[in-house]
């Protein structure tokens, strides 16, 4: 449904998106994940024909964004970061305008407006001025605007930002309901968002593609290995940190031991296992057999948060040599 | 074209949903009404005087009231037009609603034409306020209709031209105040250009004079319909709207 190849967008002094390629299948919900300023909005703007790419191509439903922008726009519903609402219009009046603008005929417009009003649950405020609505309602009116012409592709830029938890859940439910018939790309910098509503994740950082995979795969990739937090106390109150660390590193299946803290003779370590190895029992035995007290041992779950940090951190260290130069030049 | 009408209607609705439309219409009605009052009072006084003195001076409602009054209207328009056009695109850029327009399956030309048409229609409503006064002249006097109509045509063309320039300037900034201010000064400059030839008849002066918006209104004001002036206004409108289109396209590259 969406095919992006070698997409680069350069502004006057910065490269917002750097050579990104990905594909999205029909009917999928894809999360576009990255810290603020990673290039999510820019990529979305290219897909919606709001901005032309500097180089590379983007293809939506078989139409190139540069060669056939009108065809692409007909098939896309777009909710920008700030919903594009006219405060002086009433909700239904606005939706009529947006719908007609997107090519819905005069005969169908009332029916479509009623449909999206129902779907996005803005019936209570249908005759109110948009300027008087709360943030949650505005977001939903924005979403109604995006789906009014029943587009093949929905592009949502941070659809849940600024909403309260209840509203976030409602929007998530709505997105799930929409997913079957529409292909959805949503951007967010909140990881749990992706875990909840997306099938696939595209992670970008500083304009570069970091990872693209299904949510399950990404979590599995690191859930196969185990992380354990251990707190060790010496019987005499003075354990030797290096000795403890060495002993722990010798446990079979351990890939990395990190000392987190040492306070009042208590040492805290975080231990990561190799892929597919369970190390908790072995670690406990080692500590006890060495004559230390094991005061805490618990598994640390690896969330998408960690994956994200690891991936972007790897990217950063890998690319740091390259990156320092242009950044220095900017200043 | 359909999208242009759609956007035009939306623009008109938002003008009338905000105080702009009413403010502009009221200001115009007030100033024009004041001009009408003084002009017709003086006219009545002169005609009484000339009757009393027995010397029949030719008095003409068209020449002595309508012509100066509608010329005055064209000057007031210079001040009101920036108020009409300043928000057209600048506001959409500031609030981000421009993203809705630019990501909808509509051509840029449709958007621009719609916005300009909306502004022109509001301007027609503003001019409509002056018709109340002119209608009074027809009720109690016998002015010629034709020159009045031609003068109105001139006002509409001149207004359309300045509105197109204002629309262009509104696409260049996010700030309504800047858009309004710059439009005002450009209108003022186009008006002042006619002064250039006051004591000068060189070729340069002729060209500069020709470019003045006001020079071309003079014939319309006299009730003379000259194709030259119509062409001037129409080509100015076309040129300004073309610049607007280019400016909208460049938004995508610079955004």
| B100/A50 touch (CB, cutoff 8 Å), yes or no | no
Q: What is the pLDDT of residue A323?
A: 40
Q: What is the pLDDT of residue B105?
A: 92
* 84-143 in chain A: CB under 8 A from chain B: 84-89, 93, 97-98, 100-103
Distance set, CA A103 to CA A35, A62, A114, B100, B151 (Å): 35, 20, 17, 13, 40
Exposure string over A93-121, b if 16+ CB within 10 A, otherwise e: bbbbbbbbbbebeeeebeebbeebbebbe
Question: What residues does each domain of chain B span?
Answer: 2-254
Residue that wins the pLDDT comparison between B125 and A37: B125
- The average confidence (pLDDT) of chain A is 82
- Contact status, residue B123 vs residue B205, Cβ threshold 8 Å: no
Q: How confident is the model at residue A32 (pLDDT cuts 50, 70, 90)?
A: confident
Average pLDDT value for residue range A22-28: 88
**In 10 A of CB B207, how many CB atoms?**
12
**Sequence-ordered list of residues with C-beta below 8 angstroms from that of B147, at least 6 positions apart, any chain:** B62, B66, B67, B222, B223
Kindly list the residues from chain B whose CB atom is less than 8 angstroms away from the CB atom of residue A154: none
Kindly list the residues from chain A whose CB atom is less than 8 angstroms away from the CB atom of residue B253: 52
Report the alpha-carbon distance of residue A189 to residue A186 in Å, rounded: 10
List, in sequence order, every beta strand (DSSP E) within A134-178: 153-157
- Contact status, residue B89 vs residue B167, Cβ threshold 8 Å: yes
For B142-177, write each residue's pLDDT tens digit.
888 888 999 999 999 999 999 999 999 999 999 999
For A161-199, write each residue's pLDDT tens digit.
778 888 888 888 888 888 878 899 988 877 777 777 788
Q: How confident is the model at residue A321 (pLDDT cuts 50, 70, 90)?
A: very low
Among chain B residues, CA nearest to A75: B105
pLDDT of residue B35 exceeding 80, the answer is yes
Å between A68 CA and nearest CA of chain B: 10
Q: What is the pLDDT of residue A75?
A: 92
Report the alpha-carbon distance of residue A122 to residue A107 in Å, rounded: 22
Kindly list the residues from chain A whose CB atom is less than 8 angstroms away from the CB atom of residue B87: none
Q: How confident is the model at residue A74 (pLDDT cuts 50, 70, 90)?
A: very high
Backbone angles phi, psi at A279, to 5 degrees: -120, -5
- Contact status, residue B155 vs residue B74, Cβ threshold 8 Å: yes
Interface confidence, given as ipTM, is 0.87
CA-nearest of B81, B225, B212 to B159 is B81
**In 10 A of CB A266, how many CB atoms?**
16
Distance set, CA A56 to CA A17, A43, A47, A65, A324 (Å): 11, 12, 12, 11, 25
Q: How confident is the model at residue A238 (pLDDT cuts 50, 70, 90)?
A: low
pLDDT of residue A299 exceeding 80, the answer is no
**In 10 A of CB A210, how many CB atoms?**
20
Q: Give the long-range contacts of residues A240-246, CB within 8 A, separation 24 or more.
A: A241/A267, A244/A269, A244/A290, A244/A292, A245/A269
Percent of chain B with pLDDT over 70: 96
Report the alpha-carbon distance of residue A178 to residue A150 in Å, rounded: 10
Backbone angles phi, psi at A241, to 5 degrees: -55, -45
Q: How confident is the model at residue B239 (pLDDT cuts 50, 70, 90)?
A: very high
Half-sphere exposure of A100 (CA within 13 A, CB side): 18
- Contact status, residue B220 vs residue B147, Cβ threshold 8 Å: no
Q: How confident is the model at residue A303 (pLDDT cuts 50, 70, 90)?
A: low
Percent of chain B with pLDDT over 90: 55
Kindly list the residues from chain B whose CB atom is less than 8 angstroms away from the CB atom of residue A82: 95-96
Kindly list the residues from chain B whose CB atom is less than 8 angstroms away from the CB atom of residue A78: 99, 103
For B68-123, write each residue's pLDDT tens digit.
888 888 889 888 999 999 999 999 999 999 999 999 999 999 999 999 999 999 99
Percent of chain A with pLDDT over 90: 25
First to last CA, chain B: 26
Report the alpha-carbon distance of residue B187 to residue A212 in Å, rounded: 55
Q: What is the pLDDT of residue B235?
A: 94
> Which stretch, A5-14, A232-241, B103-112, has highest mean pLDDT?
B103-112
Q: What is the pLDDT of residue A225?
A: 63
Report the alpha-carbon distance of residue A289 to residue B194 in Å, rounded: 102
First to last CA, chain A: 41
Q: What is the pLDDT of residue A319?
A: 46
Q: What is the pLDDT of residue B199?
A: 67
Burial label for B225, CB within 10 Å (0-12, 13-18, 19+), is middle
Q: What is the pLDDT of residue A317?
A: 57
Q: What is the pLDDT of residue A213?
A: 81
Q: What is the pLDDT of residue A207?
A: 84
Please name the member of B14, B95, B105 whose beta carbon is closest to the beta carbon of A102.
B105
A19: left (phi over 0), alpha (psi -120 to 50) or beta: left
**Domains defined along chain A, listed by start:** 2-221 (3.40.50.300), 226-300 (3.30.70.3190)
| B10/A97 touch (CB, cutoff 8 Å), yes or no | yes
Among chain B residues, CA nearest to A155: B103
Report the alpha-carbon distance of residue A196 to residue A179 in Å, rounded: 13
DSSP secondary structure code for residue B194 in this structure: G
pLDDT of residue B12 exceeding 80, the answer is yes
- Contact status, residue A139 vs residue A164, Cβ threshold 8 Å: no
Q: Does A50 touch chain B (CB under 8 A)?
A: yes
* Crossing angle between the packed helical segments B227-254 and B145-171, to the nearest 10 degrees: 20
Length of chain B: 255
Q: What is the pLDDT of residue A254?
A: 81
Backbone angles phi, psi at A262, to 5 degrees: -140, 120
- The average confidence (pLDDT) of chain B is 89
Length of chain A: 331
Q: How confident is the model at residue A36 (pLDDT cuts 50, 70, 90)?
A: confident
Residues paired with A4 in a beta bridge = A22, A58
DSSP secondary structure code for residue A81 in this structure: S
């Amino acid at each position: 449904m969406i095919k992006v190849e070698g997409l680069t967008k350069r502004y006057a002094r910065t490269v917002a998106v750097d050579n990104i390629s990905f594909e999205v299948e029909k009917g999928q919900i894809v999360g576009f994940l990255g810290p603020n300023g990673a290039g999510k909005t820019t990529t979305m703007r290219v897909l919606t024909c709001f901005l032309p790419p500097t180089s590379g191509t983007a293809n939506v439903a078989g139409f190139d964004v540069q060669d056939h922008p009108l065809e692409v726009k007909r098939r896309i519903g777009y909710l920008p970061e700030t919903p594009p609402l006219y405060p002086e219009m009433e909700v239904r009046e606005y939706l009529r305008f947006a719908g007609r603008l997107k090519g819905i005929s005069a005969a169908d417009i009332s029916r479509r407006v009623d449909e999206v009003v129902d779907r996005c649950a803005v019936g209570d405020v249908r005759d109110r001025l948009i300027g008087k609505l709360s943030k949650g309602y505005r977001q939903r009116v924005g979403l109604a605007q995006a789906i009014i012409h029943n587009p093949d592709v929905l592009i949502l830029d941070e659809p849940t930002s600024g909403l309260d938890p209840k509203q976030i859940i409602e929007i998530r439910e709505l997105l799930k309901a929409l997913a079957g018939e529409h292909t959805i790309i949503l951007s967010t910098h909140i990881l749990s968002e992706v875990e909840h509503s997306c099938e696939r994740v595209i992670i970008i950082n500083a304009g570069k593609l970091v990872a693209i995979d299904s949510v399950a795969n990404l979590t599995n990739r690191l859930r196969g290995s185990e992380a354990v937090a251990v707190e060790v106390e010496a019987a005499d109150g003075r354990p030797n940190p290096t000795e403890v660390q060495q002993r722990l590193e010798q446990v079979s299946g351990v890939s990395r031991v990190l000392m987190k803290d040492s306070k009042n003779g208590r040492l805290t370590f975080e231990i990561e296992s190799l892929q597919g190895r369970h190390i908790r029992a072995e670690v406990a035995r080692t500590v006890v057999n060495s004559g230390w007290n094991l005061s805490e041992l618990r598994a640390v779950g690896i969330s998408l948060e960690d994956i994200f940090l690891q991936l972007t951190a790897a990217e950063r260290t890998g690319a740091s040599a390259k990156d320092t130069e242009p950044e220095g030049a900017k200043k | 074209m359909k999208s242009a009408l759609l956007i035009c209607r939306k623009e008109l609705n938002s003008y009338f949903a905000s105080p702009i439309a009413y403010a502009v219409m009221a200001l115009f009605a007030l100033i024009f009404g004041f001009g009408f009052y003084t002009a017709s009072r003086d006219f009545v006084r002169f005609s009484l005087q000339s009757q009393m003195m027995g010397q029949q001076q030719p008095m003409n409602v068209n020449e002595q009231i309508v012509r100066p009054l509608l010329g005055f209207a064209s000057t007031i328009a210079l001040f009101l037009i920036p108020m009409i056009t300043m928000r057209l695109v600048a506001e959409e850029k500031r609030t981000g609603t421009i993203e809705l327009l630019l990501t909808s399956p509509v051509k840029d030309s449709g958007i621009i034409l719609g916005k300009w048409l909306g502004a022109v229609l509001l301007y027609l409503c503003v001019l409509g306020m002056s018709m109340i006064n002119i209608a009074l002249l027809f009720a109690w006097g016998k002015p010629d209709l034709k020159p009045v109509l031609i003068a109105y045509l001139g006002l509409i063309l001149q207004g359309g031209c300045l509105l197109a320039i204002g629309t262009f300037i509104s696409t260049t900034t996010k700030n309504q105040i800047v858009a309004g201010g710059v439009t005002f000064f450009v209108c003022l400059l186009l008006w002042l250009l006619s002064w250039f030839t006051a004591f000068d008849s060189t070729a340069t002066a002729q060209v500069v004079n020709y470019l003045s918006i006001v020079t071309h209104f003079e014939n319309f004001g006299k009730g003379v319909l000259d194709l030259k002036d119509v062409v001037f206004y129409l080509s100015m409108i076309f040129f300004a709207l073309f610049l607007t289109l280019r400016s909208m396209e460049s938004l995508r590259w610079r955004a």
